[in-house]
Amino acid sequence: MPLDTDLYIFKSMMLEEWRLHKSFQGAVGSHLFPLVIFLFSAFIALVSPIILTNIDVPRILLILHAAAFSYGIFVGAMGYIGEHAMTRRLGQVNMLLQMPQIYPVGFRRMMAIFFLKDAVYYILYSIIPLMAGIAVGAPFAGVTILSVARLGITVFLTFMTGMGVSFLVSAVAVSSRDAAACLGLLILFLASLIWPFEAIEASWLLLPLGYWDAYHPLYLLSSAIVATVLSVGAVLMMKERFETPQRTHSEMLGPALRMFSDLGGLGTLLAKEWVELRRSGTLAPVVTGYIAPLVSIYAIVWIFGEGIGIPLCFNAVSYGGFVGFLGVTVYSWVTNLESNEFLNAQPVTIYQVIKAKLVLYFLLTTVVSAGYVVSIAVANGQMNILPLALLASFSNNVYVAAVIARLTGLWTNTMLFDAKVLSKFAGAVVPPLVTILFASFMLPSHSSLATQIVVAVSALLLLVSVPIFKSVRGRWRGTPFSFVTT
């Protein structure tokens, strides 16, 4: 196939990616994203002499490169997971990557172009704005432009390594999911050797980071080779033809129906949701997607306290508020399991399905959030405020579910990209969350007042949730299950 055809496919894929972004974020959001990154990084670079006094340069570099590597992993994974997610949500989705099925284009060639497209697109869309922002702010922090240029190169190489790893795992997953899972576990094991076990230096695995130890170009060359080998290896490992085996599955709906039989008609829909959650392999991502931000918050608090030297007054109640708020990610997942188009032909209403999703949401979030809050209270020796923390967690959990169900129904993923819906959501959930957070910060100094505020806000949230839940039925009455299809 001639090079100009490859180039044409590359351009078409770039256009496809851009339109895909626009369909999710809207034209304004898509255009503004690089600008936001630029302004944010410029701001952080400008104020870094003030806020990063207690954190040394190697640690800043480690955080930056770990973030670039994770971002590379995410971008690479989206090529593989993203289409599955979209197909599940929107029905049949045909991307250019699927062309080899019926057109005379090799799948490996398409994968290579796809990889390049992802690399170029996300470098232009996010890495370059990030580095440009740092370049603008860095001179004010006493950092030379040469250092920023070096940083750009090492961040770029780290990002490419992350993408290469992600593509390699995806390529292995096409042949064997078990092998891909083993590979994923190996990567997690290696990462754990860096942190928390601190058994090896991060630069042993993230070669671009090693450059900052010795300033030797060999590190750059070797990391470029590693990134290339990973990505070329991934492309070569892709099969030109693969098929989905038609496996027989054992009955799962019957036991699920029995499990939820006490709930009557709601139990039937809940059983369907439960089977879909299990069979789609979504249970693990849902729980991980819920826990990951909680761990991130813990990490941020740790960085502020240990790294920057500004200890945040986070306690079990603060975490309780957050854990409730983050339940929105779980609701988003459970509404993204299946398109529900089939239910158009059945005598069920949107409201009944939303109720089933909400029960599933509470089943998933209650255990995890309670476990998290109890762990934090035990770890910090704050058992005295555990009941208050559990109340803050539960009330936020209930309230967020009511608001999100009312605002987005069964289409959370798509509708939260609507600026109006997002601002309504933020307007409804951020003020009580912030109030609880501030009250929790006051606990050590004004225990009685802070407790009263947390209890009052939590009670108010629970009370307000009742009419909101009741209004969900009216809000979505008459809406077809295929309300959002594109």
Partner 1 sequence: MSVISVVNASKSFGDVEALSCVTLSVGEGEFYGLFGPNGAGKTTLLRIMTGQLEADSGSGITAGIPWDEPLAIKRAIGIVPEAETPPTFLTARETMELVCKIREVEDPEAKVDRWLDFFEMEEKEGVLCRDLSKGQRQKVMLAAAFIHEPRVLLLDEPFINLDPIYQRRLREYLRLLIEEGRTVFMCTHILEIAEKLCTRVAVIDEGRIVGEGALDEVMAPVGGNLEDAFMRMVEAA
139 binds partner 1 (CB under 8 A): no
Token readout for 365 is 């979030």
486 binds partner 1 (CB under 8 A): no
Using the minimum distance from each CB to partner 1, give the nearer residue, 142 or 245: 245
Among 58, 309, 467, 480, binds partner 1 (CB under 8 A): 480
The span of 253-261, 294-302, 394-402, 411-419 binding partner 1 (CB under 8 A) equals: 253-261
Restricted to residues 320-359, the positions that interact with partner 1 (CB under 8 A) are: 337-339, 341-342, 344-349
Among 2, 104, 196, 478, binds partner 1 (CB under 8 A): 478
Residue 461 CA, chain-centre distance (Å), reads: 26
Q: 331 and 361 in contact (C-beta within 8 Å)?
A: yes
252 binds partner 1 (CB under 8 A): yes
251 binds partner 1 (CB under 8 A): yes
Q: Smallest gap, in angstroms, from Cβ of residue 365 to partner 1?
A: 22
Buried/exposed 85-110: b ≥16 CB within 10 Å, e otherwise: ebebbbeebebbbeebeeeebebbbb
275 binds partner 1 (CB under 8 A): yes
Residue 314, class by beta-carbon neighbours within 10 Å (0-12 exposed, 13-18 middle, 19+ buried)? buried
Among 276, 320, 356, 469, binds partner 1 (CB under 8 A): 276
Round to whole Å and give the CA distance between 244 and 443.
Answer: 57
Round to whole Å and give the CA distance between 212 and 206.
Answer: 11
Please choose, from the candidates 449, 427, 430, 429, the residue with its C-alpha nearest in 3D space to the C-alpha of residue 439: 449
Q: Smallest gap, in angstroms, from Cβ of residue 411 to partner 1?
A: 16
Q: 158 and 65 in contact (C-beta within 8 Å)?
A: yes
Q: 220 and 208 in contact (C-beta within 8 Å)?
A: yes
User: Measured between alpha carbons, how far is residue 25 from residues 29, 31, 82, 416 in Å?
Assistant: 5, 9, 15, 9
Round to whole Å and give the CA distance between 294 and 409.
Answer: 25
Q: Smallest gap, in angstroms, from Cβ of residue 479 to partner 1?
A: 9
420 binds partner 1 (CB under 8 A): no
Among 158, 170, 268, 458, binds partner 1 (CB under 8 A): 268
Please choose, from the candidates 485, 481, 483, the residue with its C-alpha nearest in 3D space to the C-alpha of residue 348: 481
Q: Smallest gap, in angstroms, from Cβ of residue 340 to partner 1?
A: 9
Number of chain residues interacting with partner 1 (CB under 8 A): 37
Using the minimum distance from each CB to partner 1, give the nearer residue, 315 or 339: 339
Among 25, 222, 280, 329, binds partner 1 (CB under 8 A): 280
Which residues make up the interface to partner 1 (CB under 8 A)? 88, 91, 244-254, 257, 265, 268-269, 271-272, 275-276, 279-280, 337-339, 341-342, 344-349, 478, 480, 482
